[in-house]
Amino acid sequence: MSQLSHTEVVIGDRPLTPGEVVAVARHGARVRVSAEALARVDRTRSLIERLADDPHPHYGISTGFGALATTFIAPERRRQLQASLIRSHAAGTGAEVEEEVIRALQLLRLQTLATGRTGVRSHVVEVYAGMLNAEITPIVREYGSLGCSGDLAPLAHVALAAMGEGEVRVGGGEVTSARDALAAASLTPLVLEEKEGLALINGTDGMLGMLLLAAHDLEMLLDTADIAAALSIESQLGTDAVFAADLMALRPHPGQRDSASHLRALLAGSDIVASHRDPGACTRVQDAYSLRCSPQVHGAARDTLAHAQTVAARELAAAIDNPVVTPDGRVESNGNFHGAPIAFVLDFLAIAVADVASISERRTDRALDVARNQGLPPFLASEPGVDSGFMIAQYAAAGIVSELKRLAAPASVDSIPSSAMQEDHVSMGWAAARKLRRAVDGLARVLAIEVMVGVRAQQLRAPLRPAPATGAVAGLVRDASGGPGPDRFLSPEIEAVTDLVATGAVARAAASALSSAPLKEDS
């Protein structure tokens, strides 16, 4: 994690932005809870303390939880109740969840605590902020959340660490005890009071954090998909005429419009494209769908992403707990912890990712097929027969695309009952988020292979010159993977170009070459 010590995100005055979540989760930006938020938290806590003294039971304050909600808990046992809740719910299993996901989860739960709608003490808020700033990342396991009553197990692992129990990593280092890590950061372990254990685990923070990280990455990867398509269209002697603005206006989807505009800009000034614009020099009437329909597919994915970002923005403005303390002082049970809104768009994005990768792989395959690649050698090999060129790189892309199709099967339709049938319908949003993360990684790899193949095909069109934007990408890729020649160990080159794609270097190279021209047209 790169520490951005100069960056500080203020919690409690307004909803966090997606960029702020990424800054804290991925880049180590520090957080500060505003004085107004802490005062609001203290005001709400005074109400909880009054209800704790009420002889009538109040859920989560003086009762058990879930199917045990009717069990009254005596005052002297309530600290044990809260601690037992966290210990029993920290039941995750499997591989460790990635640090950036856990930090996003910590941050988003902190934001909800700072709203004053959960009833925790300000000390709890300050400990959560302190853990983030000290880069204390609790060990969270992959399996355990059903995405209803929130991400219970993942959030419980974070709460357990705040209590000084369980294991953590500090600054991405070796596993250490939570108690030692808190002591080193001068943080006092939490001793939870009434309502606080429940408030720490009743949220959609894990699935929302993964949605925000995926959306951030996909915004860049969809620009990269356009770049990969431009390389393929150019090097396979396709036409840019089909991307004309007036043709796009006949079907006014904003994503399609933006993708077509991007493609036109990327291909502008290409000698390769210009070389076959003369009808007498080109007898093909239409390009294949994978070339001609790139803005339709990429644009649909852009529109899907825009919908997901709208849902994420609404969720960032939410205060999710059960029961929740309303602004007028009521403590009310509710179902806002149900992850369906997030789970649906996580699944929707996985579908879009699979299809963008699918059309990318088809463009790659065309470039390698001597019967369809407009005069290039088989598999772009230096000496076909002796050399295999990119033959097996296409196998890798095809294998990933097949997996992405499996990952596109929705998790959110697969409810399973729990908690003695009290929680009889769940969202599976955490599972939807986990598979989307894998899908985003797969998309980056498929696009990287198309970029490599497109660059090689472009090089084989010399002495015709590419467009400035695709030429800039070719220069970047050539530095990482070399140029045409006999077969060589290909895996390291694929990994190097995948890193260029995943880090946004490919997208930045193309954008820089466009001389700061906007990628999107006004509607």
Active-site amino acid positions = 59
- Which residue, chain included where needed, has tokens 């005052």? 75
Q: Which candidate, 281, 115, 110, 272, places its Cα nearest to that of 205?
A: 110
Q: Which candidate, 67, 520, 460, places its Cα nearest to that of 299?
A: 520
Question: 10: part of which helix (H) or strand (E)?
Answer: strand 8-11
DSSP single-letter state for residue 418: B
The dihedral built from the CA positions of residue 124, 128, 134 and 138, taken in this order, carries a sign that is positive
Q: Specify the 3-state DSSP secondary structure of 345.
A: helix
DSSP single-letter state for residue 11: E
DSSP single-letter state for residue 110: H
Core vs surface per residue 384-408: b (16+ CB within 10 A) or e: eeebebbbebbebbbebbeebbebb
CA atoms in the 13 A half-sphere facing the CB of 19: 2
C-beta neighbour count of 378 within 10 angstroms: 16
Residue type for position 394: Q
- How do beta strands 167-170 and 175-177 pair? antiparallel
Burial of 55 (0-12, 13-18, 19+ CB in 10 A): exposed
C-beta neighbour count of 508 within 10 angstroms: 16
DSSP single-letter state for residue 67: G
- Tell me whether the omega of the peptide bond preceding residue 463 falls within 30 degrees of 0, making it cis: yes
The span from the CA of 121 to the CA of 79, in Å, is: 14
DSSP single-letter state for residue 42: H
Give the distance from CA 25 to its chain's centroid. Answer: 11
CA atoms in the 13 A half-sphere facing the CB of 228: 35
Helix runs in 410-520, H state only: 429-459, 468-481, 491-502, 505-513
Q: Determine the longest span between alpha carbons in the chain, in angstroms.
A: 91
CA atoms in the 13 A half-sphere facing the CB of 339: 36
Question: 176: part of which helix (H) or strand (E)?
Answer: strand 175-177
Q: Which candidate, 288, 310, 306, 309, places its Cα nearest to that of 298?
A: 306
Quick one: tokens of 355?
Answer: 């299809």
Give the distance from CA 290 to its chain's centroid. Answer: 26
Q: How far apart, in Å, are the Cα atoms of 271 and each of 55, 291, 294, 452?
A: 83, 18, 21, 20
Core vs surface per residue 318-354: b (16+ CB within 10 A) or e: bbbbbbbbeeeeebeeeeebbbbbbbbbbbbbbbbbb
